[in-house]
């Protein structure tokens, strides 16, 4: 790879004060300089009038569900799942997941996301799509045991095969996790085995946790305690765990998460759309819990634009607490960058010497971002995905001046559209 210099930008490092008219030097796949001193490189990008910042991290999604964007909206969760999502998912093929994940990568590159955590099925094809796109991702095969010991054996075997095959693939851009679906779809015995296997393989764990009140009630009926207490009792929770949603938490649950160092992923748009509830994010943050942001899948969000997710998070908690100072812009930007990178265990989310060169450039000269009184505030409350000009991952320019270089946009959209139509048609026949 050639050396890349980004110059004249307003550099938000997430590691100290912003740098006006700053320089960021990339050598191969690492950042080697951030500061005010003039640097030289073969490839120079002039970021005058732009923000230079770490790429956004989407810490929880199901990438191939781009194929179900807008497929089943405005209905109760169980009806949505049982009558629409599960039937169409049952028709998924390897190619469908490949095309859907390609579309997700394209959308994320265009909107400034450089890394994401994915849990789904046919994950070899998802990994293939990520590898070809140039993105960074932490991938997991979604294991759903359903309290069936034999099914659990096969699910764990597939999870293990995937973890070992793809970890550190694509020049280290792909890392892998174990992905037990949720405490109410996997037995405590199975979850104990997952924890043991993940520790053996030095892999992280991606799980849904307390997304719905129904899960809370089921766990109390089944175990006499909630998901957090059950997971804590079996020694499951720790800094290696990425727990998505975390809505129905008690104060005691939050204390346990803080004590064990578990990572929470807030998915405000999906939670609002499905009326699942509001995660107690300010309370988690006040206890020192690392809270990241995720979009969830496109079936329950319709968008992978993390700028929209950040704005929604900031506004939701202001009105929920009736406190306009709740979740200020700087805190939300951390959730979308450095907190997400920490949750995924990747060396990104901060512009600092030695970190991975995952960087985006946001054009602040657009009508919707003029005038610029406070750049960080603009990024949360005014910016949108299309304001991203350039996306760099692992030192490679994936998009420059709004043109995606790593993927054939027209072909990706055509293939994904065709796959989505076939899946919808087949689901209707079934």
Instruction: Return all residues near 421 (Cβ < 8 A) that are at least 6 apart.
Output: none
What is d(CA 338, CA 340) in angstroms, rounded to the nearest whole number? 5
Same domain flag for 321 and 357 = no
Structural tokens at position 113 = 């996301």
Residues 178 and 202 reside in one and the same domain? yes
Q: Among positive and negative, which fits the CA dihedral 348, 352, 358, 362?
A: positive
**Mean model confidence pLDDT for the chain:** 97
Q: How many domains does the chain have?
A: 2
Residue 40 has pLDDT above 60, yes or no: yes
Token pair belonging to 30: 């690492």
CATH number of the domain within which 9 lies:
2.30.40.10
CATH for 279: 3.20.20.140
81-132 per-position pLDDT tens digit = 889 998 999 999 999 999 999 999 999 999 999 999 999 999 999 999 999 9
pLDDT at 427: 81
Residue at a domain's end among 306, 329, 344: 344
Task: Give the C-alpha separation, 249 to 244, whole Å.
Answer: 12
Q: Considering 329, 344, 359, which residue would you say is the last residue of a domain?
A: 344
Whether residues 143 and 15 fall in one domain: no
Classified as helix, coil or strand, 98 is helix
Contacts by 257-262, CB closer than 8 A, 24 or more apart: 257/228, 257/284, 257/287, 257/289, 258/284, 258/287, 258/288, 258/289, 260/232, 261/290, 262/237, 262/238, 262/289
pLDDT tens for residues 376-401? 999 999 999 999 999 999 999 999 99
Residue 282, domain member (yes or no): yes
Angle at 343 between CA 341 and CA 348, to 5 degrees: 15
Are 381 and 322 found together in one domain? no
Q: Are 192 and 333 in contact (CB under 8 A)?
A: no
Tens-digit pLDDT profile for residues 218-243: 999 999 999 999 999 999 999 999 99
**Does residue 413 belong to any structural domain of this protein?**
no
Q: Is the pLDDT of residue 430 over 70?
A: no
- Could you list the residue range(s) of the whole structural domain that residue 42 is in? 4-54+349-403
On whether residue 111 sits in a domain, the answer given is yes
């Amino acid at each position: 790879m050639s050396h890349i210099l980004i110059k004249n930008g307003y550099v938000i490092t997430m590691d100290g004060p912003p740098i006006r008219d700053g320089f960021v030097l990339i050598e191969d796949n690492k950042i080697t300089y951030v500061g005010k001193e003039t640097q030289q490189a073969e490839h120079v990008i002039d970021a005058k009038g732009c923000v230079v910042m770490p790429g956004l991290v989407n810490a929880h999604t199901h990438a191939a569900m781009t194929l179900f964007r807008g497929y089943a909206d405005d209905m109760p969760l169980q009806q949505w799942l049982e009558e629409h999502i599960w039937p169409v998912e049952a028709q998924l093929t390897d190619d469908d997941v490949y095309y859907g994940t390609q579309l997700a990568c394209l959308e994320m590159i265009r909107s400034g996301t450089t890394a994401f955590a994915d849990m789904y099925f046919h994950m070899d094809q998802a990994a293939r799509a990520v590898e070809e796109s140039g993105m960074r991702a932490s991938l997991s095969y979604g294991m759903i045991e359903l309290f069936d010991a034999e099914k659990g054996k096969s699910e764990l075997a597939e999870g293990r095969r995937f973890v070992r095959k793809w970890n550190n693939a694509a020049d280290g851009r792909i890392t892998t996790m174990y992905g037990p679906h949720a405490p109410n779809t996997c037995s405590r015995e199975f979850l104990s085995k997952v924890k043991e296997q993940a520790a053996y393989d030095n892999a992280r764990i991606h799980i849904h946790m307390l997304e719905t009140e129904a899960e809370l009630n089921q766990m109390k009926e089944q175990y006499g305690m909630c998901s957090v207490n059950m997971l804590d009792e079996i020694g499951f929770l720790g800094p290696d765990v990425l727990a998505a949603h975390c809505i129905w938490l008690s104060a005691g649950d939050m204390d346990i998460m803080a004590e064990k160092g578990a990572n929470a992923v807030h998915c405000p748009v999906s939670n609002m759309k499905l009326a699942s509830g509001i995660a107690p994010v300010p309370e988690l943050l006040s206890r020192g819990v690392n809270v990241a942001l995720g979009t969830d899948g496109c079936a329950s969000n319709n968008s992978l634009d993390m700028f929209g997710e950040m704005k929604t998070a900031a506004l939701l908690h202001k009105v929920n607490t009736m406190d306009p100072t709740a979740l200020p812009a700087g805190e939300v930007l951390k959730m979308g960058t450095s907190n997400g990178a920490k949750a995924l265990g990747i060396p990104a989310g901060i512009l600092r010497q030695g970190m991975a060169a995952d960087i985006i450039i946001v054009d602040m000269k657009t009508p919707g971002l003029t005038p610029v009184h406070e750049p960080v505030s603009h990024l949360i409350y005014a910016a949108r995905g299309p304001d991203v000009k350039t996306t760099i991952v692992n030192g490679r320019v994936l998009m420059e001046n709004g043109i995606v270089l790593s993927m054939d946009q027209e072909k990706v959209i055509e293939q994904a559209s065709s796959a989505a139509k076939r899946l919808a048609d087949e689901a209707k026949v079934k």
